[in-house]
Structure 1
Amino acid sequence: MHRVFQFKYTLITAIAVITLSLISSSEFQQRRFWYFEGMDKVIHVCMYMTLSSLFFLERYWSSKTTSANIIKHYNIIPLLLFGAMGGAIELLQPLVAARSCEVTDFLCNITGLILGFYLQILFIRILKR
């Protein structure tokens, strides 16, 4: 149970990502000042970048080790699981939230995961100075 709570911020973020992804689009009030074409793609990248970077930062804080190699099994497995979560959410959206399932949203999710991985490496290097 302790291992689960070491990732408390990741869990909170994952719950927020799932909740925001499955809310009906009619519940979002679009403000024209902030809205621009493709804004939802930016939101997808940001949500999954936050999820990924928080996970790897929390793992680093608990073990004090990190690897910049994304292909290592202890790095790729969580990314694949988060990617599968993003894919499952995209498939569930038409059923649960009357929203469309878009391949570009899924690609933005994957992009966010990869950016989040490299962002946490940069953040750790800055903290070590």
Structure 2
Amino acid sequence: MNLSFLHRYLPTLIVLCAILYLSLAPAPIPDADKLHLFKGADKVVHFCMYGGLILVFCFDLYRQDPFNKYRTQQTIIACISAILLGGGIELLQGYMGMGRSADWYDFAANSAGAITGLLCSHYLIRRWLRKVKK
């Protein structure tokens, strides 16, 4: 693997590894059952993880070349890939038999987060980069 690829996409790869660990480890957070959160809090976490993944990926793209004419296509492909990843992880959770279960509401939250991250990224990252360059 090319080291420049790792350097260019390191933040995205870190977020992706965190998502994979949190989604596939049997008990990624010890005593998480003892946390008293509101009903559906895990859906908010799924939404934020996948929204964050797309935001970080878009940041990596903008950081490399702010005038990339293919960026819109690349971000849409990344969003679709994140949605497919979320679906694949949910299927794996159902088949692993390690105390995890597939939940299609988690998949919906993953998808909504990825799409929201995509929609927000263009506005937020452009604005941030303009502020940094001044």
Q: Please give the alpha-carbon distance, in whole angstroms, between the structure 1 residues aligned to 2:63 and 2:74.
A: 15
1:125, CA displacement in angstroms? 3.5
1:66, CA displacement in angstroms? 6.2
Q: Please give the alpha-carbon distance, in whole angstroms, between the structure 2 residues aligned to 1:62 and 1:53.
A: 14
- Equivalent runs, 1:98-117 vs 2, <5 Å: 98-117=99-118
- Equivalent runs, 1:14-93 vs 2, <5 Å: 14-25=16-27, 27-29=30-32, 30-32=34-36, 35-65=37-67, 72-93=72-93
Q: Please give the alpha-carbon distance, in whole angstroms, between the structure 1 residues aligned to 2:31 and 2:94.
A: 16
TM-score of the two chains, using structure 2 as the length reference: 0.81
Change (3 A) 1:28 1:48: farther
Aligned amino acid, residue 78 of structure 2: P
Q: Please give the alpha-carbon distance, in whole angstroms, between the structure 1 residues aligned to 2:44 and 2:54.
A: 15
What's the counterpart of residue 119 of structure 2?
Answer: 118
Change (3 A) 1:28 1:94: farther
User: Cα RMSD over matched residues?
Assistant: 2.1
Q: Larger relative CO (CA 8 A, sep 6+): 1 or 2?
A: 1
Give 5+ residue unaligned stretches, structure 1: none
Aligned amino acid, residue 49 of structure 1: G
TM-score of the two chains, using structure 1 as the length reference: 0.84
Moved over 6 A (4+): none
Give 5+ residue unaligned stretches, structure 2: none
* Corresponding pairs, count: 124
Q: Please give the alpha-carbon distance, in whole angstroms, between the structure 2 residues aligned to 1:78 and 1:28.
A: 33
Fraction of identical pairs, as percent? 31
